[in-house]
Amino acid sequence: VFEGLQYQEPDEFNDIRKKLSQDSNGRKIDVSAGVYRDENGKPYLLKAISQAEDILHDAKRDHDYNFCLGIPEFLNAAATIALGEKLVKEKKVASCQTIGGTGACHLGATLLSNFCNFRKFYIGTPAWPNYFPLIKQAGGEVIKYNYYDSEKKEVDFTSILNALESAPKNSIFILQLCCHNPTGTDLSQEQWNILTSKMKQKEVVPFVDGAYQGLASGDLEKDAWPIQNMISKDMEFLFCQSFSKSLGLYGERVGCLHVVTSDSKKAEIVTDSLRFIFRSECSSAPAFGALLTSSISQNPELREQWKEDLEGISHRLSQVRKKVHYFLTERYKTPGNWDHVLTQKGLFWFSGLTREQSKALIDNLHVYLPLNGRVNVAGLNKKNTEDFCALIDYVVRNVK
Ligand code: PMP
């Protein structure tokens, strides 16, 4: 049966994690995977989650199956957090709970590709690598364009506009809401505004991936500005939501797909399609993380605590960025311009280190990062930031 099977492309992060776990050096530094770590380098349990866990534990709930579309309180909470109360009340949103943000992307791509016959997915590079196999498996076709100008270290807006100009009607544009993975470089409000108007005019579908809502500014609503911009233009679009980062619920796999439609009748039939697809793929999504999320959303004190948690995360990330900038520019006077560590947002600093420099850090210097030079700044803290910058300085000076 399995004779014709070929080995698939290896997963860079799996390989890095393996190497990292085999490295016994006590001073090794992990800035690889996109996860938030606290000042002690440990996974961070948000206070809001800890309190919601206590409430859930006291409620002594059962473990029955949930509805195929998801837990209704969760769906309502998730849609409101992403899209705002008004749209939810107007019933213009079709929502389905998913297995994390990845599941939301997969469900959205399947809906468009296999049920709407919209198959051309435009993706700006560099991109979250998982988009490519995910779109392929959903039967879509990927068209790449350049998203990031690595010389100027800013969004390559001309390239995005050119891609949009050449895209036929019914194409799909995958865009990240904020804290772009891997570049940390987001579209400005002005750029979003131009882009969404053009997308509407060209009848191109925005497919917005929101894996980091709340981590850019520390404020969920502020980070959702691009969505409100599309809503104000009465646009139809998809929003793939993840609570992995914003609530630190990585392993609980909490996500949701929201499809925003122009009227409530359309939302009804999209909801039905989502139910149909999800039933055959997963039957129903996991309960625990979704219950924590809805419990926080329904409780004003916990919502306030979540707000504080997010502000704390976003504050720590910007403090780390400032320290890296200080060490590179003042302490080590490392050749080059390092201002982009300050301007990029969220977990990622797209450092501009070459593949050889990144490889030298991994192979010889106990620093773990992907070869594209993306640094998860949350992996840095009081204990390791200076060492990390000294090693960056070393490779910049000694490795081409
Ligand atoms: N989109 C992007 C851009 C991401 O970085 C990630 C997580 N790395 C996801 C989606 C998926 O998130 P989740 O872990 O919730 O599946």
Q: Render pLDDT for 97-127 as a digit per residue (tens, 0 to 9).
A: 999 999 999 999 999 999 999 999 999 999 9
Label residue 11 by pLDDT band (50, 70, 90): confident
The closest of 370, 357, 349 to 397, measured between CA atoms, is: 357
Which residue's alpha carbon is nearest to atom 4 within ligand 1? 211
Indicate the domain borders of the chain: 12-45+305-394, 65-298
Question: Residue 320 pLDDT > 90, yes or no?
Answer: yes
Structure tokens at 62: 């059962």
Q: Which of 135, 240, 244, 247 best tests ligand 1's pocket when mutated (most atoms within 8 Å of CB)?
A: 244
Numbers of helices and strands, H then E, in the chain: 16, 13
Which residue's alpha carbon is nearest to atom 6 within ligand 1? 211
Mean pLDDT across the chain: 97
Q: Which of 98, 106, 135, 209 best tests ligand 1's pocket when mutated (most atoms within 8 Å of CB)?
A: 209
**pLDDT for position 157:** 98
Q: Render pLDDT for 40-87 as a digit per residue (tens, 0 to 9).
A: 999 999 999 999 999 999 999 999 999 999 999 999 999 999 999 999
**pLDDT for position 400:** 87
- Domains 12-45+305-394 and 65-298 fall in the same CATH topology: no
Which residue's alpha carbon is nearest to atom 12 within ligand 1? 101
Q: Render pLDDT for 248-274 as a digit per residue (tens, 0 to 9).
A: 999 999 999 999 999 999 999 999 999
Q: Render pLDDT for 369-397 as a digit per residue (tens, 0 to 9).
A: 999 999 999 999 999 999 999 999 999 99
**pLDDT for position 359:** 96
Question: Residue 139 pLDDT > 90, yes or no?
Answer: yes
Report the atom number in ligand 1 closest to the C-alpha of 104: 16
Q: What is the distance in A from the centroid of ligand 1 to the CA of 135?
A: 14
Report the atom number in ligand 1 closest to the C-alpha of 176: 3
Percent of all residues in the chain with a pLDDT value above 90, rounded to a whole number: 97
Q: Are 121 and 297 in contact (CB under 8 A)?
A: no
- Whether ligand 1 lies within 6 angstroms of the CB of 287 is answered as no
Q: What is the mean pLDDT of residues 146-167?
A: 97
Question: Residue 9 pLDDT > 90, yes or no?
Answer: no
**Class (C level, CATH) for 65-298:** alpha beta
**pLDDT for position 263:** 92
The bridge status of strand 120-125 relative to strand 141-146 is parallel
Neighbours of 228 (CB within 10 A): 14
Q: What is the distance in A from the centroid of ligand 1 to the CA of 354?
A: 24
Q: Which of 242, 252, 350 best tests ligand 1's pocket when mutated (most atoms within 8 Å of CB)?
A: 242
Sheet containing 205-210: order of strands: 93-99, 254-260, 237-242, 205-210, 172-176, 120-125, 141-146
Label residue 10 by pLDDT band (50, 70, 90): confident
Report the atom number in ligand 1 closest to the C-alpha of 127: 3
Task: Evaluate whether the domain defined by 12-45+305-394 bears CATH number 3.90.1150.10.
Answer: yes
- Whether ligand 1 lies within 6 angstroms of the CB of 176 is answered as yes
Q: Are 286 and 252 in contact (CB under 8 A)?
A: yes
**Residue 7 backbone dihedrals phi, psi, to 5 degrees:** -65, 140
Q: What is the distance in A from the centroid of ligand 1 to the CA of 189?
A: 22
Element (H, E) at 173: strand 172-176
Q: Are 235 and 126 in contact (CB under 8 A)?
A: no
Q: What is the distance in A from the centroid of ligand 1 to the CA of 399?
A: 32
Instruction: Return d(Cα 24, Cα 320) in angstroms, integer.
Output: 25
Label residue 165 by pLDDT band (50, 70, 90): very high
